[in-house]
Amino acid sequence: MRHIIHADLDAFYAAVEQLDAPELRGQPVLVGGSPRSRGVVATASYEARVFGVHSAMPMSTAVRHCPQGIVVRPRFDRYREMSRRVMDIFHDLTDLVEPLSLDEAYLDISAVVASGQLPLGVAIDLKRRVKEETGLALSVGAGTAKSVVKIASDLQKPDGLVVVAPGQEREFLAPLPVGKLWGIGPKTAERLRRDGITTIGDLAGQPGDWFARRFGKRAESVRARALGQDDDPVQTERSPKSISAETTFPNDISAPEELRGKLAGLAANVARHLERKELQGRTITVKLRLSDYTTLNRQTTLTYATAAESVILETAWRLLAAELSPGLAFRLLGVGMSTFGEAPERGQQLALPLAEG
Amino acid sequence: MKLSCLQENLSRGLSIVGRAVAGRSTLPITQNVLLETDRSMLKLSATNLEIAITTWIGSMIEEEGAFTVPARLLTEFVNSLPSDRIDLEMEEGGGVLRFVCGRAEARIHGADANDFPPIPQVEEGVAARIGAQDFKLAISRVAFAAATEESRPVLTGVEAKLSGDRFTLAAADGFRLAVQHGALAEPVESDIGVIVPARTLNELSRLLGDQNDTVDIMMVPARSQVMFKIGGVEVVSQLVQGAFPNYDQLIPQKYDSRSVFDLQKLLRATRSAAIFARDGSNIIRLQMTPGEEEAPGKAVISARSEEVGENQGEVDTEAIEGGESKIAFNSRYLQEVLAVLERGQVALETTTSSSPGVFKPIGSDDYVHVVMPMFVQW
Domains and CATH numbers, chain B: 2-115 (3.10.150.10), 126-248 (3.10.150.10), 251-371 (3.10.150.10)
Q: Please report the pLDDT score of residue A266 as a whole number.
A: 96
In chain B, the residue whose alpha carbon lies closest to the alpha carbon of A312 is: B249
Q: Is residue A237 part of a domain?
A: no
> Nearest by CB to A356, which of B172, B243, B373?
B243
Contacts of A352 in chain B (CB under 8 A): 172, 174-177, 250, 356, 370, 372
Distance of CA A180 to the CA centre of its chain: 18
Average pLDDT, chain B: 93
The residues near B365 (Cβ < 8 Å, ≥ 6 apart) are B181
Our CA-based measurement puts residue B216 at a distance from the nearest CA of chain A, in whole angstroms, of 28
Whether residue A221 is found in the same domain as residue A158: no
Q: What's the rounded Cα separation, in Å, for the pair B41 and B60?
A: 7
DSSP 3-state assignment of B348? strand
Whether residue A22 is found in the same domain as residue A54: yes
> Nearest by CB to B249, which of A220, A311, A347?
A311
Is A354 in contact with B247 (Cβ distance < 8 A)? yes
Our CA-based measurement puts residue A55 at a distance from the nearest CA of chain B, in whole angstroms, of 37
Residues of chain A with pLDDT under 50: 357
Contacts of A349 in chain B (CB under 8 A): 175, 330, 372, 374-375
A346 touches chain B (CB under 8 A): yes
Q: Please report the pLDDT score of residue A307 as a whole number.
A: 83
> Nearest by CB to B307, which of A208, A224, A351?
A208
Contacts of B278 in chain A (CB under 8 A): none
Closest CA to B302 of B287, B289, B281, B291: B287
Hey, which residues 155-174 in chain B have their CB within 8 Å of chain A? 155, 172, 174
Contacts of A208 in chain B (CB under 8 A): 280, 306-307
Whether residue A136 is found in the same domain as residue A13: yes
Q: Using the predicted structure, report yes or no on whether residue B313 has a pLDDT greater than 80.
A: yes
Q: Is residue A233 part of a domain?
A: no
pLDDT digits (tens, 9 = 90+) for B145-194: 999 877 778 999 999 999 999 999 999 998 999 999 999 999 999 999 99
Contacts of A347 in chain B (CB under 8 A): 281, 283, 374-376
Q: Please report the pLDDT score of residue A202 as a whole number.
A: 94
Exposed e or buried b for every residue in A123-162, given b needs 16+ CB within 10 A? beebbebbeeebebbbbbbbbbbbbbbbbbbbeebeebbb
Whole domain around residue A180: which residue ranges? 170-226
Average confidence (pLDDT) over B281-303: 91
Q: Is residue A232 part of a domain?
A: no
A355 touches chain B (CB under 8 A): yes
8 Å CB contact between A18 and A44: no
Is B250 in contact with A354 (Cβ distance < 8 A)? yes
Contacts of B375 in chain A (CB under 8 A): 344-350
Whether residue A136 is found in the same domain as residue A177: no
Residue A216: how many other CB atoms lie within 10 Å: 10
Q: Is residue A290 part of a domain?
A: yes
Q: Please report the pLDDT score of residue A355 as a whole number.
A: 67
Whether residue A201 is found in the same domain as residue A280: no
Average confidence (pLDDT) over B56-69: 96
Our CA-based measurement puts residue B148 at a distance from the nearest CA of chain A, in whole angstroms, of 16
DSSP 3-state assignment of A52? coil
Q: Is residue A67 part of a domain?
A: yes
A347 touches chain B (CB under 8 A): yes
Q: Among A211-220, A265-274, B68-77, B289-298, name the most confident range.
A: B68-77
CA dihedral A43, A46, A48, A50 (to 10 degrees): 130
Residue B43's pLDDT band (cuts 50, 70, 90): very high
Whole-model pTM?
Answer: 0.58
Whether residue A198 is found in the same domain as residue A300: no
Whether residue A175 is found in the same domain as residue A36: no
What CATH code is carried by the domain that includes residue A215?
1.10.150.20
Which of A138, A165, A192 is where one domain is finished?
A: A165
Q: Which amino acid is at A99?
A: P
Which of A226, A250, A268 is where one domain is finished?
A: A226
Whether residue A130 is found in the same domain as residue A67: yes
What CATH code is carried by the domain that includes residue A270?
3.30.1490.100
Is A207 in contact with B306 (Cβ distance < 8 A)? yes
In total, the C-beta contacts within 8 angstroms joining chain A to chain B are 73
Q: Please report the pLDDT score of residue B343 as a whole number.
A: 84
8 Å CB contact between B94 and B58: no
Residue A241: how many other CB atoms lie within 10 Å: 8
Is B245 in contact with A348 (Cβ distance < 8 A)? no
Q: What's the rounded Cα separation, in Å, for the pair A280 and B343?
A: 37
Q: Please report the pLDDT score of residue A356 as a whole number.
A: 55
Hey, which residues 294-333 in chain A have their CB within 8 Å of chain B? 308, 310-311, 313-314
Our CA-based measurement puts residue B326 at a distance from the nearest CA of chain A, in whole angstroms, of 14
Q: What's the rounded Cα separation, in Å, for the pair B157 and B145?
A: 10
Q: Please report the pLDDT score of residue A39 as a whole number.
A: 82
> Nearest by CB to B175, which of A313, A351, A357?
A351
**Strand A70-72 to strand A29-32: parallel, antiparallel, or no bridges (unpaired)?**
parallel
Average pLDDT, chain A: 90
Q: Using the predicted structure, report yes or no on whether residue B364 has a pLDDT greater than 70.
A: yes
Q: Please report the pLDDT score of residue B296 as a whole number.
A: 86
Q: Which amino acid is at A249?
A: F
Whether residue A14 is found in the same domain as residue A130: yes
In chain A, the residue whose alpha carbon lies closest to the alpha carbon of B174 is: A352
8 Å CB contact between B129 and B217: yes
Hey, which residues 217-246 in chain A have their CB within 8 Å of chain B? 220, 224, 231
A212 touches chain B (CB under 8 A): no
pLDDT digits (tens, 9 = 90+) for B192-250: 999 999 999 999 999 998 888 999 999 998 889 999 999 899 999 999 998 999 899 88
Q: Which amino acid is at A247?
A: T
Q: What's the rounded Cα separation, in Å, for the pair A335 and A296?
A: 12
> Nearest by CB to A345, which of B246, B354, B375?
B375
**Strand A348-349 to strand B60-63: parallel, antiparallel, or no bridges (unpaired)?**
unpaired
CA angle B259, B261, B264 (to 5 degrees): 160
B246 touches chain A (CB under 8 A): yes
Contacts of B307 in chain A (CB under 8 A): 207-209
Q: At what angle do helices A219-226 and A208-215 cross, to 10 degrees?
A: 120
Q: Please report the pLDDT score of residue B312 as a whole number.
A: 92
B283 touches chain A (CB under 8 A): yes
In chain B, % of residues over pLDDT 70:
100
Active-site hit among A17, A47, A98, A104 = A104
Whether residue A261 is found in the same domain as residue A197: no
Interface mutation vs chain A, best among B246, B251, B256, most A CBs within 10 Å: B246
Q: Is residue A234 part of a domain?
A: no
- Whether A104 is a known active-site residue: answer yes
What CATH code is carried by the domain that includes residue A11?
3.30.70.270
* Adjacent-strand bridge partners of B313: B301
Q: Please report the pLDDT score of residue B354 as a whole number.
A: 82
Which of A165, A185, A205 is where one domain is finished?
A: A165
Our CA-based measurement puts residue B32 at a distance from the nearest CA of chain A, in whole angstroms, of 38
Our CA-based measurement puts residue B174 at a distance from the nearest CA of chain A, in whole angstroms, of 5
The residues near B76 (Cβ < 8 Å, ≥ 6 apart) are none
Average confidence (pLDDT) over B331-346: 94
Q: What is the DSSP string of A156-177?
A: T-SS-EEEPPTT-HHHHHTTSB
ipTM, two decimals: 0.80
DSSP 3-state assignment of B33? strand
Please return the burial class of B185, using the count of CB atoms within 10 Å of its CB with bins 0-12, 13-18 and 19+. Answer: middle
Our CA-based measurement puts residue A355 at a distance from the nearest CA of chain B, in whole angstroms, of 6
Q: What's the rounded Cα separation, in Å, for the pair B129 and B136?
A: 13
Distance of CA B190 to the CA centre of its chain: 25
Q: How many structural domains comprise chain A?
A: 3
Is A354 in contact with B155 (Cβ distance < 8 A)? yes
Q: Using the predicted structure, report yes or no on whether residue B72 has a pLDDT greater than 80.
A: yes
Q: Using the predicted structure, report yes or no on whether residue B75 has a pLDDT greater than 90.
A: yes
Q: Is residue A64 part of a domain?
A: yes
The residues near B179 (Cβ < 8 Å, ≥ 6 apart) are B142, B168, B169, B170, B247, B251, B367, B368, B369
Q: Is residue A231 part of a domain?
A: no
Whether residue A267 is found in the same domain as residue A341: yes
Contacts of A310 in chain B (CB under 8 A): 249-250, 253
Whether residue A159 is found in the same domain as residue A15: yes
Our CA-based measurement puts residue B197 at a distance from the nearest CA of chain A, in whole angstroms, of 17
Average confidence (pLDDT) over B260-275: 95
